[in-house]
Copies of this chain bind each other. A is one copy, B any other.
Amino acid sequence: MQLPIAVKETERATLQNQVFEQIRVMIAEGRLKDGDPLPATRELSLQMGISCNTALLAYERLISEGYVYTKPYVGTFVSDNLHDRIAPRLVDGQDAPQSESCQLLSLNDAQRLRQFVRIHSLQNPHRKRLSADFWVGRPDPASFPVKVWSQHIWKQLQRSSAALTQYNEPSGLEALRLAISDHLGPARGIAVDAGQIMIVGGCQDGFNLIARLLVSPGTPLVIENPCYQGAAYVFESFGAEPYPVTVDEHGMDVSQLPDVSSPVAYLTPSHQYPMGATLSLSRRMELLAWADKHDAYILEDDYDSDFRFTGAPLTALKGLDRNDRVVYMGTFSKSMGPGLRLGYIVLPKALVAPARRLKALMNNGQSWLEQAAMADFMFEGGFRRHLRRMRQTYLERRDVLLAALKSNFGDCQVRGEDAGMHLTWRIPDRYPHAEEIERLAVLEGVGVYALSTGAALQFGTTEESRRYLVLGYAALTPREIEQGIARLAECLSKHAIPSPPG
């Protein structure tokens, strides 16, 4: 079998990346389908006039990113159900089945559209109402301070509605940038001028801004493994070449940082997504030294560190950053809600002007009303009080979850419980792997998530990585948490492998 692909020595992308990318596109476009065999690497290398090693490296990347899999002694095949993973899964029921919408594309369109981006999951992918849904990243809907928020909104509208009829500063409302710079000092140890802060439409808009600013095809992207899908897929869409670095209980293993020139590093040092580790101080310092040496920019995604339950708040990487190499990103999606579409970036001085131009080119900035209300909310102390209240609420829910896990499953290996809105639970060995548990639990009305379903991307799935479930607890009441875990235990008890007599 021959694949219709060709590589060019002179292209900027390496040969292995050209092979990888062309096969990836053929899969994404459906020209290679579920279960289709790929040629053997030897065959491919002969056909294309490349070395066996190049073909092998390209296949390894396809395998590690989950596009294909290998059956030992049989061959390499396109992964099953890939369409579901490439297809959107954001809103239940709204979407036409992917296969149908794909058929609407002429071949010409399919070749031409830069459409086959992968997207992150933002809602649980099961099209079913769940009685307890441990989906990640959702703040508690009942705790939104709707009364106070409505008052701020009203006040701003009455006071300065003329701002609605103007183009406002693309970097964001001055008042909000000031309020954020006031907040970041005490909360995160970041001393920064409001001029270095840019308001973005949530982290996702921020990822695009940073990727467009810093990434060209082939730019090395150092990234946690596993990592957050939403960021990884944006960098992927701009052609970054990923260098995955393993995460352990102290966060990204900095001893694996690659020796590459002018890379971008993306990480979640405060509460690693999805595993929950906090990057240790010594690793933070090593990472910064590495960035200096390799002329790297670091994107620090601090998505949920407003909620820290144990110990003092950690100084952000940005707070340790003497040479202005760190881009810090925060969001109001977790502390307030994603419906606001508000986040912010702290920019190194060198990037302030270019980022502002790019932001104007991308979307002329965010809507005025949410920015104005948020600034007011922060200045009047409401945001600080809200955070304090939410921290207490989430701490209680976390404790309920930990207690429920313990009472139903005995001693539990849990990670990432010191902060945030989710934790990661290593499934006891007597139970099936995470994807299977997820499937069984959903049948019983309980949503628990394997890493890959839970908005995480893994480079190279291992047996160990299939032993983890992510459990978001912020949006569930204590009662829902207790009942959900009890029901999960009941469901799993039917599927436990009996331990050998001993």
Contacts and interface: CB of A to CB of B under 8 A. Distances in A.
A346 to B, nearest CB: 16
A151 B350 CA distance: 43
Interface stretch (A51-59, A363-371, A409-417, A476-484): A363-371
A417 to B, nearest CB: 22
A341 B365 contact: yes
Given A108-B295, A351-B113, A363 B165 contact: no
Interface residues of A, number: 95
B144 A161 contact: yes
A5 interface: no
Nearest to A109: B350
B162 A204 contact: no
Interface in A6-54: 8, 10-11
Contact of A122 (B208, B237, B364): B364
A146 B161 contact: yes
B363 A201 contact: yes
A146 to B, nearest CB: 4
Interface stretch (A90-98, A305-313, A377-385, A464-472): A90-98
B361 A341 contact: no
A123 interface: yes
Contacts of A369: 153, 339-340, 369-370
A117 interface: yes
Interface string A62-105: 00000000000000000000000001101100111010011011
Query: Could you say which of A94, A140, A337, A341 has the most chain B C-beta atoms within 10 Å of its C-beta?
Result: A341
Interface in A302-330: none
A139 B165 CA distance: 6
A113 B219 CA distance: 11
Interface in A177-233: 201-202, 204-205, 208, 212-216, 233
Given A96-B353, A367-B340, A205 B362 contact: yes
A474 to B, nearest CB: 10
B108 A353 contact: no
Contacts of A123: 166-167
A124 to B, nearest CB: 11
B350 A367 contact: no
A163 interface: yes
A113 to B, nearest CB: 5
A192 to B, nearest CB: 15
A244 interface: no
Given A362-B205, A364-B204, A367-B339, A119 B357 contact: yes
Contacts of A215: 114
Nearest to A216: B114
19 contacts: A90-B360, A104-B350, A104-B353, A105-B354, A114-B214, A115-B354, A119-B357, A144-B161, A144-B164, A163-B339, A165-B336, A165-B337, A167-B338, A167-B339, A208-B361, A339-B368, A341-B363, A341-B366, A342-B367
A150 interface: yes
